[in-house]
Chain A
Amino acid sequence: MSPTLTPPLPPPRWPVLIVDDEPEVHEVTRMLLSDVRFCGQPVELYSAYSAQAARAYLREHPETALILPDVVMETDDAGLHLIHAIRTIWATKTRRSAAHRPTRPGAGA
């Protein structure tokens, strides 16, 4: 089967999910991305406040284009597990996730 050469039509807005347990992170991200356009389309931002909530959301909304997860949430590596799950279970060609927060597990002495 030959690959389809014509890209699918972009949706009117790119659905983007922010996953973080800090409400202010959501707020500042919304502000930063308010003017961003990709392929001429603006982004639509959705919020999940824990890795668990993100999983639930993604099950309902497999069309999500971009996921911006935090690493340290319920546990030191909740974000990493989330990314792993996204890549192995829900991976599609059109969607990739990125860990955009440089926070690392730090409190686990």
Chain B
Amino acid sequence: MIRAKRNYRAWVANETLEDYALRYAAKSYRKWSPLLLANTALGGISFLALEAIGGAITISYGFYNAFIAIVLVSLIIFLTNLPIAYYAGKYHIDMDLLTRGAGFGYIGSTITSLIYASFTFIFFALEAAIMAQALELYFDLPLVLGYVLSSLVIIPITFFGVTLINRLQIWTQPLWVVLFVLPFVCVFLKNPAILAQWAAFGGKTGHGAGFDMLAFGAATGVLFALVVQIGEQVDYLRFLPERHTTKQRRWWWALIAAGPGWIALGGLKILAGSLLAFIGVEAGVSFADAIEPIHMYIKAYEFVFDDDQWVLGFATLFVVLSQVKINVTNAYAGSLAWSNFFARLAHYHPGRVVWLVFNVIIALLLMLLGIFETLEAVLSIYSIVAIAWIGAIVADLTVLKPLGVSPPYIEFKRAHLYNINPVGCGAMLIASLLAISAYAGEFGETAKVYAAFLSLLTAFACAVLLGVLTQGRYYIARQSLLPPRANTSDTLRCIVCEQHYEFEDMAQCPFYDGPICSLCCSLDNHCHDICKTPERYQAVAPFRSAPSLNQRTFQPNLARRLGWFLGLFSIVAIAAGIFFLLSYRLLEADPGPGTNLADIFLRLYLGALALIAIGVWWITLAHESRELAESELVNSLHYLEMTRQELVQSEKMASLGGLVAGVAHEINTPVGIMVSAASFLRDQSEAVRGQLGAGQLTPQAWEAFLNRAEDSARLLLSNANRTAALVQSFKQVAVDRVSDERRTFNLRDYIGETLTSLKPKLKRSRLSVTVDCPPDIQIDGYPGPLAQILTNFIMNSLMHGYDEHQIGAIRISARRTGDDGLELRYADDGKGIPRAIQGKIFEPFFTTQRSRGGSGLGLHLVYNIVTRQLNGTISVESEAGQGAAFVLRLPLRQSAPVELSDSTAGASADD
């Protein structure tokens, strides 16, 4: 298939901004110490929602139930988070990439990405609202302005990814620790008896002093939502260095502390919130205010300072600092999740930073709408689904992987994964449906409060069951076709975007016929996953240049169209139904006088359905026409590619024709001399024989004949040798030129043979060629392309570099670079290439000599040969009037999988 080079926007190609958002985090990028990363990951734990949750469950269910729930749920969170952190740290992938490989499949994790992204912006909104509240209290800043300020301040910090976030977290951490610990030290010093009073606190009803199944269950339900926090932790942990390159204990310490260990600190903060809420209630604060973090810390700082301004100032400082630290993490994780979601849904990736801004703006909108109660209602449904998600992943990592049902590593590439793996998707679906029904009260009051537990356990059990039932058949769609590498830090060049990425990020793409990076693979619109259906791929193998032609011919098909319509319509109708139902439930809590709300909503819903039907029909038709346009485009590309190949083929034959003519001329001279010498010898012999027969042979005549015979023999021999040598070198060059066979050859000898074949052209110019190459450089690769490159360079110098009869010198030099690299430099001292056109010389059909027959393909083909066939790089150095130099960097051993096709082999001799 023809490859249009994909040019990413600067902020996708720049990994400082992009942070490997959709990729395996490259080794070269992971240069931070484990402890620094652990600090960054733990920086997010500053979020005050923890205190708010602790306060809320203590006030609602009493200290005793809250305490047991906190300890138990913390333990469960630790245990479920441990395997997730381990695999993310070991395989250097973020939460979404992990989900794909751990039982969900490539498309299967789209839905979890969406939920995760929603989590990040909902939490972002809740946390930023807390910050805005603090700003309002201290600075009298209006809430709306506070919302805007506390959102926008996050963008510049998160813009530069983990690099800048690391810095922020390390600078703010000491201050934050002091601000956090200080009030509690003072509380315990000034009022040591508070612990006993706190432990006896029975909540707002006063009944919660003893254990209560329902109260305890409800408390766990709130706390379980925190299990998803591991996602944000591993988004940083993926940058851990390789385990064997660093100190084992440090690596593990960082992994555990910043991975599952977050809940140890988090649990303490929940308890702190519980204590502060209790202190607030004791001091006469209302229940509603007592669970607001800003009020909690005002009460706490009253133990430290006597002056009200100081108390408020420090509480505000602490809240602002905490919220900036967490929202940086929320925004960062959200930007990754959105990138992942849209890259798969729309095959579109404008860059992580775009999704960062998108995420922050959604959060800001939610705040401005002031729908915090709705958010919390949505969050409780979401958290049930999210818990099911984590349960299914943990089942995969801890049960299915050791059983051998799931592959031992984490695969995340589209090229190798099935779209949907029933193990994770099925388990999450079943568990979510069951737990949401329970939450809605279908199975009674007890089941309702334990819905989160139910979700976790059901997902875990279903994932194990489905994994065993399907025998892990839907994990890996195909094996990697890339050959294994000895040195895994080698990079491969993506055939589409032409950037280099590490081996782990690459797959062999049969559609484009070369190695492809995971992002280009994800974003490709045309291949229709042909690599995963081997029969289709093999069927079209002879027509590899355009496989897509054979697999998707477009026919407007009524059944297909109707199927599309009905499928899409039901999805949208159900989604709208859920939306209406949710709105109805929320409004029902506060019914207006004398209206039949259910009836109004039903009418509204039916009206909306009609609109939805029209919209869906329009989308269906638009989709069809897009498909049609796409298939036409692919066809055009196919013909374009065929034409280009034919052109290249004819250029190749023309170039070979030139070579043959050169051979003919070069051999003609020695053959002519031999014919003359041989016929002269024959004539002389006959003359001598005649003289001998007539008895007239004088000693002088005999002597003269012998001299002439010797001269003839000498000429015959030297010219026969010369002819043989010419034939030998021409034969090799000509064979290499057309066959593209791989062999081991000596570079200096081969340059010599190539120059011999160019002798007829060089002889008639006044250019001298010197070769400076060590005699011991052996190349294991393709000699033909190398000869083609040199030929094109020399023809370019002849055609463009010099005026007729101008004296010039060409220098070809080669040297080794490193163990397995080669630098080949071709330089002439002619007119040079003006700077203005240097950027264009490798483009196809660019020539300054169209009127003199330049095709504009010469250097383009050199570029293709060097970069695609020889796997090297080429650069040009030139100043007008000072000659031109081309520097090629090539591997001494060309890698085997590089496919050779006609499109890259032949070349014209001129540019």
Given contacts A24-B718, A74-B764, contact A103 B677 (CB under 8 A): no
Is residue A63 within 8 Å, beta carbon to beta carbon, of the partner chain?
no
Inter-subunit contact A31/B654 (CB<8 Å): no
Given contacts A28-B715, A109-B657, contact A103 B672 (CB under 8 A): yes
Inter-subunit contact A109/B718 (CB<8 Å): no
Inter-subunit contact A31/B711 (CB<8 Å): yes
Is residue B491 within 8 Å, beta carbon to beta carbon, of the partner chain?
no
Cα separation A45 to B658 with both chains bound (whole Å) = 36
Cα separation A27 to B764 with both chains bound (whole Å) = 22
Write the nearest CB–CB distance from A81 to chain B, whole angstroms. Answer: 13
Interface of B is mostly: helix
Give a binary string over A22-43; 1 marks a CB under 8 Å from any B CB, 0 the rest: 1011011101101000000000
Inter-subunit contact A24/B654 (CB<8 Å): no
Write the nearest CB–CB distance from A70 to chain B, whole angstroms. Answer: 9
Give a binary string over A64-88; 1 marks a CB under 8 Å from any B CB, 0 the rest: 0000000011111000000000000
Cα separation A20 to B277 with both chains bound (whole Å) = 109
Given contacts A24-B715, A31-B712, contact A106 B662 (CB under 8 A): yes
Inter-subunit contact A103/B676 (CB<8 Å): no
Give a binary string over A81-107; 1 marks a CB under 8 Å from any B CB, 0 the rest: 000000000000000000001110111
Inter-subunit contact A75/B764 (CB<8 Å): yes
Give a binary string over B730-772; 1 marks a CB under 8 Å from any A CB, 0 the rest: 0000000000000000000000000000001101100000000
The segment from B349-357, B524-532, B663-671, B842-850 that touches chain A is: B663-671
Is residue B661 within 8 Å, beta carbon to beta carbon, of the partner chain?
yes
Report the interface size class on chain B. 20 to 34
Question: Which residues 685-734 of B sit at the A interface, judged by CB distance below 8 A?
Answer: 708, 711-712, 715, 718-719
Is residue B680 within 8 Å, beta carbon to beta carbon, of the partner chain?
yes
Q: Which residue of A lies closest to B661 (CB)?
A: A106
Q: Which residue of B lies closest to A70 (CB)?
A: B669
One of B662, B672, B708, B715 near A107 (C-beta < 8 A)? B662
Is residue B909 within 8 Å, beta carbon to beta carbon, of the partner chain?
yes
One of B676, B763, B909 near A109 (C-beta < 8 A)? B909
Is residue B673 within 8 Å, beta carbon to beta carbon, of the partner chain?
yes
Q: Which of A27, A29, A109 has the most CB of B within 10 A?
A: A109
Given contacts A103-B665, A106-B662, A106-B665, contact A28 B764 (CB under 8 A): no
Inter-subunit contact B676/A22 (CB<8 Å): no
Q: Which of B669, B673, B712 has the most CB of A within 10 A?
A: B669
Q: Which residue of B lies closest to A109 (CB)?
A: B658
Question: Which residues 642-660 of B sit at the A interface, judged by CB distance below 8 A?
Answer: 654-655, 657-659
Inter-subunit contact B676/A32 (CB<8 Å): yes
Inter-subunit contact B760/A107 (CB<8 Å): yes
When distances are taken between beta carbons in the complex, the residues of chain A under 8 Å from B711 are 27, 31
When distances are taken between beta carbons in the complex, the residues of chain B under 8 Å from A27 are 711, 715
Cα separation A74 to B763 with both chains bound (whole Å) = 8
Inter-subunit contact A106/B664 (CB<8 Å): yes
Give a binary string over B174-196; 1 marks a CB under 8 Å from any A CB, 0 the rest: 00000000000000000000000
When distances are taken between beta carbons in the complex, the residues of chain B under 8 Å from A74 are 764
Give a binary string over A12-25; 1 marks a CB under 8 Å from any B CB, 0 the rest: 00000000011011
Write the nearest CB–CB distance from A15 to chain B, whole angstroms. Answer: 21
Is residue A8 within 8 Å, beta carbon to beta carbon, of the partner chain?
no
Inter-subunit contact B673/A24 (CB<8 Å): yes
Residues in chain B within 8 A of chain A (CB atoms): 654-655, 657-659, 661-662, 664-666, 668-670, 672-673, 676-677, 680, 708, 711-712, 715, 718-719, 760-761, 763-764, 909
26 A-B pairs (CB sep. < 8 Å): A24-B715, A24-B718, A24-B719, A25-B669, A25-B672, A27-B711, A28-B677, A28-B715, A29-B676, A32-B676, A34-B708, A73-B764, A101-B672, A103-B672, A105-B665, A106-B760, A107-B658, A107-B661, A107-B666, A107-B761, A109-B654, A109-B657, A109-B658, A109-B659, A109-B661, A109-B662
